[in-house]
Amino acid sequence: MIHNQIIIAKTPESAGRCAAQHFRALMQTKPYCVLGLATGSTPIPLYRELIAMNQRGEIDFSTVRTVNLDEYKGLSPEHEQSYRYFMNDNLFNHVNINKANTFVPNGLAADVGAFCLEYEKKIEELGGIDIQLLGIGHDGHIGFNEPDSFFPKITHETQLTEMTREANKRFFDGDIGKVPTAAITMGIGTVMAARKVILIATGKDKAEIVKKSFFGPVDPQVPASILQLHKNCVVILDEEAAGAL
Ligand code: GLP
């Protein structure tokens, strides 16, 4: 049984604006909300819209807490391709958020196992995630949960597939050798525990995996397919990403 609401917007920008409306509705009604955030090129139009809404005084980040999905292992927060740097650069530096209330997995954690448990505890202490934002990889990965024989439950260390490193090398001077081989990511269980999930996919290169994820069987080889079972998941596509439906 598929519970997802699927919205087809015209362009990546209108998909971002549509997602921003969900965030605005939450932030206006729950000032201490917890936002689960994502990186990649897909959420950039959404972040631009949230910045504009903040500048117009429509949304206030001063009491908002955020938790990010994932981080490359081995990259420091200052590294320009780290997800902490991405979040500062694309959102946090431009809105009235208290950075002490923003959490991104620590790619330099000495004891990764202990860190992952702490991250789960932190999410729980914050009261759980109100909206978890997701993009989607070409192999159906969400966060850095790659295709596997099972759905990983909690935050964990993971090895990146060749396909993912190939797709992400564009951020590393086109050199796959510079793309980290491992990451720390929320688990599928962490994502599924969010009260609401918003997945955005844009561009024709996402059309096939969108179809497979939301109209194929629920299968850990297509990690995003689990979202079919989430009771409150909104999938926002542009026309190109909806092209195979
Ligand atoms: C990375 C991130 C994912 C993201 C995916 C797609 O692998 N870990 O969270 O969804 O890339 O990125 P893009 O939006 O750039 O296509």
Q: Which pLDDT belongs to residue 4?
A: 82
Asked if pLDDT for residue 170 goes beyond 70, the answer is yes
Question: How much is the mean pLDDT over the chain?
Answer: 97
Q: Is 143 in the pocket of ligand 1 (CB under 6 A)?
A: yes
Residue labelled with tokens 């688990």: 187
Note whether 170 and 193 are within 8 A (CB). no
**Residue 111: CB atoms within 10 Å:** 9
Q: Give the CA count within 13 Å in the CB-facing half-sphere of 124.
A: 9
Whose C-alpha lies nearest to ligand 1, atom 6? Answer: 137
Encode pLDDT of 137-161 as tens digits: 999 999 999 999 999 999 999 999 9
pLDDT mean over 188-208: 98
Q: Is 144 in the pocket of ligand 1 (CB under 6 A)?
A: yes
Q: Which pLDDT belongs to residue 2?
A: 66
Element (H, E) at 120: helix 112-126
The ligand 1 atom at the shortest distance from the C-alpha of residue 38 is: 9
Q: Is 42 in the pocket of ligand 1 (CB under 6 A)?
A: yes
pTM over 0.95, yes/no: yes
Note whether 7 and 238 are within 8 A (CB). no
Got the DSSP string for 129-159?
A: -SEEEE---TT--BTTB-S-SS---SSEEEE
Distance between Cα 135 and ligand 1 center (Å)? 6
Q: Which amino acid is at 180?
A: P
Tokens of 45: 């139009």
Encode pLDDT of 69-122 as tens digits: 999 999 999 999 999 999 999 999 999 999 999 999 999 999 999 999 999 999
Residue 162 to residue 181: CA distance in whole angstroms = 9
Pocket test for ligand 1, best of 37, 39, 156, 165 (most atoms within 8 A of CB): 39
Q: Is 45 in the pocket of ligand 1 (CB under 6 A)?
A: no
Q: Active-site residue numbers?
A: 70, 139, 141, 146
Note whether 135 and 236 are within 8 A (CB). no
| DSSP-derived 3-state class of residue 182 | strand
Encode pLDDT of 202-218 as tens digits: 999 999 999 999 999 99
CA distances from 165 to 89, 90, 158, 245 (A): 22, 22, 13, 27
Note whether 189 and 197 are within 8 A (CB). no
Whose C-alpha lies nearest to ligand 1, atom 13? Answer: 40
End-to-end alpha carbon distance in the chain = 17
